[in-house]
Each structure stands twice: as structure tokens, then as C-alpha cells.
Chains A and B, each alone.
Chain A
Amino acid sequence: DAGVTQSPTHLIKTRGQQVTLRCSPKSGHDTVSWYQQALGQGPQFIFQYYEEEERQRGNFPDRFSGHQFPNYSSELNVNALLLGDSALYLCASLGTGGLRNTEAFFGQGTRLTVV
């Protein structure tokens, strides 16, 4: 049973560029959350997708956007990259609807470096 998979594992981009990160949730999970983890910090919530809609958003600018597909996989897009966007981006999947008391399982993350 595949867990949460993310791609790519590492990425280097230049300031001002755009980037797309991808996530496939754990089998049987239909809710995907994205987190940003700066070095030495805990993960910070970006947004959550369920039934192909953004259901909740953390304190992140509109440069951060996402999408969920009918197969529950998800993308995170970041436009106009800033140096401060350099971080480990984590995808977490949860059971049905994000409302149940289920554990969140994380992927291995995508390390984004903006130069």
C-alpha cells in the first residue's frame, strides 16, 4: 500500500519564477493538506482540499494556489517566487472529508530552493 507520494523531491528555482509541486494521497484518503516548513521550524498550514475545492486556508498570500483532481491527487502552485519561499513543502493526506478524527500522514516532502 503506497503512502503519500510527492514529486519532485528537490527543486531549484530563480526569484520571480513559478513552481508546481505534486502529491498523491495515501490509498483510501480523499483530503489533502499542504504545509510549508522553514528550516528549524514546525510545519505551517497552507491550505486543505476536499472534493476538488479549497476548504480552508492558512495565512499565506494569493501567490500560493492549489488544485485537487478527481483521483484525489493535488498540486501546489507558487507564483512570483521569493527567496523566503525556500522551504520543505509537505503534503498530508487524511481520511474522509477532513472532519473525522483521523491521523494525518505526510509525504517525504519537496525541498524548494529559490536563488
Chain B
Amino acid sequence: EDQVTQSPEALRLQEGESSSLNCSYTVSGLRGLFWYRQDPGKGPEFLFTLYSAGEEKEKERLKATLTKKESFLHITAPKPEDSATYLCAVRTHMNSGYSTLTFGKGTMLLVSP
């Protein structure tokens, strides 16, 4: 069974204090690892897709990296508007041949000014 574990559960940073969020996964054949941002009471907002170990993607202050067992979301010089819950998910292929997403519980990030 595919599993996704995110750590830490919550992270509090000062504005400008860089850090990383971790997503470790167990999956029978990775077909895509996804990062989403979710604001309170809202739907997840797509950030990145990674497919193979060594792949990296960047968007503004965020950079996602992937190894064979885990992914990191690096946040450089964060601002208060980066405060949100960050969700990691892996694509799971079901017996039917169709795919779905298996999510972790998320990391709640709070950036203080």
C-alpha cells in the first residue's frame, strides 16, 4: 500500500529564515510526486510535479527536490504570505488502470514578520 509521511507536522519560521519540509514515500513504482499549497478552508493549489530522482523544480521562493525515498520542499527567505499548509502526494495506479493521488497529512507553515 502506498504511503506518504510528511514532517514536521507544523513549522514556525521568522521572516527570512530558510528551512525545508520533508515528504517520505513508499510506493510501488513512482509515477509522479506532487506538492500542493493549501490555505485554510480552501482547496489545494498545485505547485510542482516531480517524476524522477534528481529532478528539481523552482517557483519564486520554493524549490522542490526528489530522491528515491523522499522529497524536500525548500523555502528560501520566506515571507508571511508563504504561511499555509503544504501537502505532498504520490500518484497511485489502481487495479482499474486509472490513477489517483495518495496524500500525506501536510505540514502547517507559519511565517512571522
A3-B8 Cα distance, complex, nearest whole Å: 31
CB < 8 Å neighbour of B98 from A6, A50, A106, A108: A50
Chain B 19-59 interface residues, beta-carbon cutoff 8 Å to A? 31-32, 34, 36, 41-46, 49, 51
Contact A108 B43 (CB under 8 A): yes
- Cα separation A98 to B31 with both chains bound (whole Å): 13
Residues of chain B with a CB closer than 8 A to A35's CB: 101
**How many B residues, CB 8 Å from partner?**
28
Asked if A42 and B41 sit within 8 Å, CB to CB, the answer is: no
* Nearest residue, chain A, Cβ from B101: A104
Does residue B7 face the partner (Cβ distance < 8 Å to A)? no
C-alpha gap A55/B103 in the complex (Å): 20
The reply to whether A99 and B98 contact each other, CB–CB distance below 8 Å, is yes
Nearest Cβ on chain B to A40's Cβ, whole angstroms: 7
Residues of A with C-beta under 8 A to B49: 101, 103
Residue of A nearest to B46 (CB): A103
A24 CA / B100 CA spacing, docked (Å): 18
Known: A43-B44, A101-B51, A103-B49. A33 touches B100 (CB 8 A): yes
Given A48-B98, A50-B98, answer yes or no on A101-B43 (Cβ-Cβ < 8 Å): no
In the complex, per-residue mask of A92-112: 1 if CB is within 8 Å of any chain B CB, else 0: 100001110101111111010
Apart from A45-B100, A99-B97: 10 A-B pairs, beta carbons within 8 A: A33-B100, A33-B101, A42-B87, A56-B96, A103-B34, A106-B36, A106-B45, A107-B43, A109-B41, A109-B43
Task: State the A residues within 8 Å of B (CB).
Answer: 4, 6, 33, 35, 40-45, 48, 50, 55-56, 58, 88, 90, 92, 97-99, 101, 103-109, 111
Residues of B within 8 A of A (CB): 4, 31-32, 34, 36, 41-46, 49, 51, 87, 89, 91, 94, 96-106
